[in-house]
Amino acid sequence: MQENLIRTDLIIESIEASKASGKDPKLTVNEYTEDEMKITEAIVRKDQEEAFGKKAGTYITIDTTAIVENDHEALLKIQKQIAKQISKLMEKHQITDDMLALVVGLGNVNVTPDALGPCVVEEIFVTKHIFDLHPEEIDDNGFRPVCALSPGVMGNTGLETAEIIKAIIKDVKPQFVIVVDALASRALNRVNKTIQISDAGISPGSGVGNKRKELSKDTLGIPVISIGVPTVVDAVTITSDVLDLLMRHIAYNLQHNNPSNNLVPAHMSGKKDLEHVELPEESVRKSLFGELGMLSNEEKQKLIYEVLTPQGLNYMVTTKEIDTNIADLTHIISRGINLALHKNIN
């Protein structure tokens, strides 16, 4: 059960969980801001795989609210940032401009929060067929051969995604793979706002506890660059985060000498940056929430898990704007991939 509570697709959440438990992550982490986006680059070594539950490799996290705010100018900057980070990983693995790329979109196109991968594949600029059949019609200066595939899900095909991709690699012989998938988060404020790019591979369905065979250089024999965005969060996380936000909301009103407004809903009292508000003192938390207010975040999540899971109520939940969010994410990720693969694309 403990693994279920702290298991996450995002390296940044693994680091936070490690710090919250009082452990030193001891990872090489570089944080910086570029074009109003927070970029975090973490490197997991081979000897750190077990501690973090993550394969060794480079993990790049792009945090931005532009996706959910429909900021067009910012969305253009994000796609260029995605292209930049993909290019860095390609350079790390000595992937040259003429190497054949296979882009794979994981997920179920019939389930909106899980449709990111297949939707991205629809907008990839594929060129392998032109290089094969009509090489005279393409200017290969700045363009590379690219093929793309959406293998579907095991429930529809009866086949492991890894088996399908291995068969294609054996016959088509791409020299590297880019995989796009929807992930799950352990924080409400990261849903549809965080993009993770990594060369450590990916395990389809792992975010919702439906783990399939991993796709990585170890299993496929060629470099694998994964791109993922958390589009869902579980009910345990929602309940825990809401309780935490409620406590911070009360602390905010106490700090601003407005105790009578403690329990006024946020939409009535105005939006506040509650994430950076310190929790109320222990005596206040205990008087308002009893023993529940004294629990650590880990203990609180464990208790909620024990209550919801036996009842079958630990649902996976997404936002009401998920259709628009997936459309925006599809555009910026597909264009970021296209920019990284084809240097002369407009």
The domain locations on the chain are: 2-232+320-341, 237-317
Residuewise pLDDT in 10s, the chain (346 residues):
344 444 578 888 888 877 766 666 678 899 999 988 999 999 999 988 887 878 899 999 999 887 777 778 888 999 999 999 999 999 999 999 999 999 999 999 999 999 999 999 999 999 999 999 988 777 667 899 999 999 988 878 888 889 999 999 999 999 999 999 999 988 888 999 999 999 999 977 555 555 568 899 999 999 999 999 999 999 998 998 888 888 888 888 877 766 555 455 544 455 566 777 788 888 888 888 888 888 888 888 899 999 998 998 889 999 999 999 999 999 999 999 999 999 888 7
Neighbours of 285 (CB within 10 A): 19
CA distance 145 to 330: 21
pTM of the model: 0.87
Query: What is the DSSP secondary structure assignment for residue 255, as one 8-state letter?
Result: H
CATH architecture entry for 2-232+320-341: 3-Layer(aba) Sandwich (3.40)
Nearest to 277 by CA among 240, 318, 244: 244
Q: Which residue's entry shows tokens 């004294």?
A: 294
Q: Beta 176-185 vs 28-34: how paired, if at all?
A: unpaired
Question: What radius of gyration, in Å, describes the C-alpha atoms of the chain?
Answer: 22
